[in-house]
Amino acid sequence: MEEKKKFYITTPIYYPSGHWHIGTCYTTIICDAIARFKRMQGFDVFYLTGTDEHGQKILKVSQEAGVPVKDYIDGIVNELKDLWKLLDISYDKFIRTTDDYHEKAVAKIFQKLYDQGDIYKSSYEGWYCTPCESFWTKTQLVDGKCPDCGRDVQLMKEESYFFKMGKYQDRIIKLIEENPDFLQPPTRQNEMINNFLKPGLQDLCVSRTSFDWGVKVPFDPKHVVYVWIDALTNYITALGYGSDDDSLFKKYWPADIHMVGKEIVRFHSIIWPALLMALDIPMPKKVYGHGWLLFGNDKMSKSKGNIVDPFILCNNYGVDSLRYFMLREVSFGQDGSYTNEAFLKRINGDLCNDLSNLVSRTIAMVEQYFGGEIPAPNVKDAIDDDLIATIDSMYGEVSDNMEKLYIPEALESIWKVIRRLNKYIDETAPWALNKEGNKDRLSTVMYNLCEGIRIVATILQPFLTKSPAKIFEKLGVEEGVLTSFDGLKFGTMKPGNKVSKGENIFTRLDINKELAAMDKILEEQVAAAKAKQEAATSDNVVKVPEIGIEEFEKVQLKVGKVVECQKVEKADKLLCSKIDLGEGRLRTIVSGIAKYYTPEDMVGRSVIVVTNLKPVKLRGILSEGMVLCASDENGKLALITPSADMPAGAEVR
């Protein structure tokens, strides 16, 4: 038996943000339609998705929630899996970057790159955007903010490992220029070459020491691997690369399509190829950077008067409505907008008027004229040839469009046939044939309509996951024959099936009424969010109870002068200071400030010390007090000092 051709398609792995909106589902629905289409074409498909769980951003959020980070993420990942289930996403594997096999493989890859000299140690000073997990130089910032998302960045100064990405610059330019298929759509090629590659590719900082939620660098575990290196490798570790069993990797790599949103094309078309080149692994065949689904002008902004919660939209209007809108509305590769009204209009127009009505009218006529049994075709007419030719050419058009990733156009090719079938009803006027008693011609017309509908439903299966099965049931067509595109040829269906009317697959909506109902849901959402915020604020008040002055007075605070200071051995964060508190002796105090102050910075400084804290041993040193610091939300520390000179031992009140 001939071996099936392989097809490997991936979505990006999702940050476990927990803020799922319909934009988040865009990449996944698109890939699902492609994966299903390829399966029906007979390919052996592997469709990968998953979650990108390491990094500073998620750690910070979990800390704010006061939940251990992995527990925090587990809940969100389950929600995401529920969402994919609701949307009928037919992935073959869901990878989590916290999966053991992945973490081990990332460490192995890092070690290999280090051993072969592609990774080296140096120190990094630059600006870091935590939400984007991206490094920037000062000149790349726009008005001092992250050039990608416009948010605040923080100055980062760390000992780091670097990946020699610069060395692959020319090979990557060649890859993009000589293989136009590699990076699509074409506008993304110019963007990458002119904005990032031609100006010169810097080596990439690939480790962090300021937090530890990540894969530890195996030979220097105070470093964790930069989250993008960790994340990108998922595309090969999911197939077993770097594990004892890499048979899937051998079978499916290179990927046929990495589908990604346009904002992460840079990572996939520059960093990822450079890594693969360093690992001597073949390049993926295609990186496709699709556009954004916009709400207002922003991909992330709040709903701006629109319902963007996929759970609500699916529960109220059906999964197929949402899948159809996403696949059909936006010109693929470009940005497009979601509005409640556009969504409802697609349901009423394409799904209800065109598709659902065609099916219900036809079934009703088979019931009325032939007692519910699909008749055998009999007398032909020239008009049938045009219909049959349109139906028979549909698969070619659809598959051509899918091959080029012209997804809305692929649906348009199907709708051309749906509209042609509706027109065929008007042209043949079955009710008139019935009236005339022309059963021979009427049976041909009814067979042609049913057969056309069966073929449409078959080819719709990769796009809509619920309606085709409903249509087959109405037509009395048995499941099973329909898992491939065999049988798309007109005339394959044998006459004699029993039809059943049942409910319409889509019912016409009163748009104004629906819009009003949607507004009401939005109002409720706003009220619920407000209530949640108020509850959180009042929670905070409870969490930090008020204290009386007598309790405050129990804390003794004094000005101290740092006389000596040194690093604590084998503890990166700790400094050990000898502090004069006017007591005729020096106190030893250990503080976790080494990332922000050197021993030289400390000596001679005035600091504020809590002097009546019970002494504790830290790394074997008895610490007799605490030096006070201010701390921001990122854990950055700054010492508190008196604003004018004060003697050692002066009380702080």
**CB 297, min distance to ligand MSP, A:** 12
Give CA–CA dist 328/418, Å, rounded. Answer: 15
Give CA–CA dist 271/277, Å, rounded. Answer: 10
| Opening angle at CA 331, ends 329 and 337, nearest 5 | 55
Segment 253 to 312, residues that bind ligand MSP, using CB under 6 A: 260-261, 263-264, 292-293, 299
The answer to whether 576 and 590 have CB atoms below 8 angstroms apart is: yes
Segment 456 to 515, residues that bind ligand MSP, using CB under 6 A: none
Q: DSSP letter string over 132-177?
A: TTEEE-GGG-BTTB-TTT--B-EEEEEEEEEE--GGGHHHHHHHHH
26 binds ligand MSP (CB under 6 A): yes
**CB 325, min distance to ligand MSP, A:** 13
Specify the stretch interacting with ligand MSP by CB under 6 A; choose among 10-18, 33-41, 160-168, 377-385: 10-18
Pairing of strands 651-652, 557-567: antiparallel
The answer to whether 470 and 505 have CB atoms below 8 angstroms apart is: yes
The set of residues, in sequence order, having a beta carbon less than 8 Å from that of 242 and lying 6+ positions away, is: 104, 105, 106, 108, 109, 236
Q: DSSP letter string over 410-462?
A: HHHHHHHHHHHHHHHHHHH-HHHHHHHT-HHHHHHHHHHHHHHHHHHHHHHTT
- Judged by CB under 6 A, which of 7, 8, 9, 23 binds ligand MSP? 23
Nearer to ligand MSP, 81 or 419 (CB): 81
Nearer to ligand MSP, 28 or 160 (CB): 28
Segment 47 to 86, residues that bind ligand MSP, using CB under 6 A: 52
**CB 303, min distance to ligand MSP, A:** 12
**CB 417, min distance to ligand MSP, A:** 29
Q: Which residue is nearest to ligand MSP (CB)?
A: 261
Pairing of strands 575-580, 586-591: antiparallel
Count of residues touching ligand MSP (by CB under 6 A): 19
Nearer to ligand MSP, 113 or 264 (CB): 264
The set of residues, in sequence order, having a beta carbon less than 8 Å from that of 161 and lying 6+ positions away, is: 114, 119, 120, 121, 122, 205, 206, 207, 217, 220, 223
231 binds ligand MSP (CB under 6 A): yes
Specify the stretch interacting with ligand MSP by CB under 6 A; choose among 8-16, 170-178, 316-324, 551-559: 8-16
Nearer to ligand MSP, 300 or 610 (CB): 300
**CB 282, min distance to ligand MSP, A:** 18
**CB 238, min distance to ligand MSP, A:** 11
Cα 193 off chain centre by = 25
Specify the stretch interacting with ligand MSP by CB under 6 A; choose among 228-236, 544-552, 558-566, 572-580: 228-236
232 binds ligand MSP (CB under 6 A): yes
- Judged by CB under 6 A, which of 7, 8, 9, 24 binds ligand MSP? 24
Nearer to ligand MSP, 98 or 390 (CB): 98
- Judged by CB under 6 A, which of 7, 8, 12, 265 binds ligand MSP? 12
Helix axes 22-40, 319-329, angle to 10 degrees: 90
User: How far apart are the two ends of the chain, measured CA to CA in Å?
Assistant: 87
Contacts with ligand MSP by CB under 6 A lie at 12-15, 23-24, 26-27, 52, 231-232, 234, 260-261, 263-264, 292-293, 299
